[in-house]
Amino acid sequence: MNPEITIDLRLVPVERRHEAVEQAFARLRPAAEILVVSDRDPRTLHEALDRDHPDEFTWAVLTRGVPRWRVLITRSAARVAKDLLDSATMTAIL
């Protein structure tokens, strides 16, 4: 494991935590990883990412529980490739 981005949410104000991860995810290359460290269960973060980016990532809990949660989010290369192919196809049609 060699994550491209590490975000320690314990240092981020609660109201900005999801936004911080969303912004990092948007910059993430296919097959790259984000390591998220949190002091609380990141279940709602997982639900939000799943809602906003279905089939675009994998989620692996590395450490569970107090005082620290560690989650590895990996951007799915297959979904990014499909989106690029769909975009190229639409451009060719137009």
pLDDT of residue 81: 54
Structure tokens at 72: 């590895």
Q: Report d(CA 58, CA 73) in Å as an integer.
A: 6
CA distance 59 to 16: 20
How many domains does the chain divide into? Answer: 1
Residue 73: how many CB atoms within 10 A of its CB? 26
Q: How far apart are CA 74 and CA 88, in angstroms?
A: 24
Model-level pTM greater than 0.75? yes
Counting residues of the chain whose pLDDT is more than 70, the rounded percentage is: 82
Range of the domain at 43: 5-93
**Span 6-65, pLDDT tens digits:** 999 999 999 999 999 999 999 999 999 999 999 999 999 999 999 999 999 999 999 999
| Coil vs helix vs strand at 68 | coil
Write the pLDDT tens digit of every residue in 14-26.
999 999 999 999 9
pLDDT tens-digit profile of 69-89? 999 999 998 655 555 555 556
CATH code (residue 83): 3.30.110.40
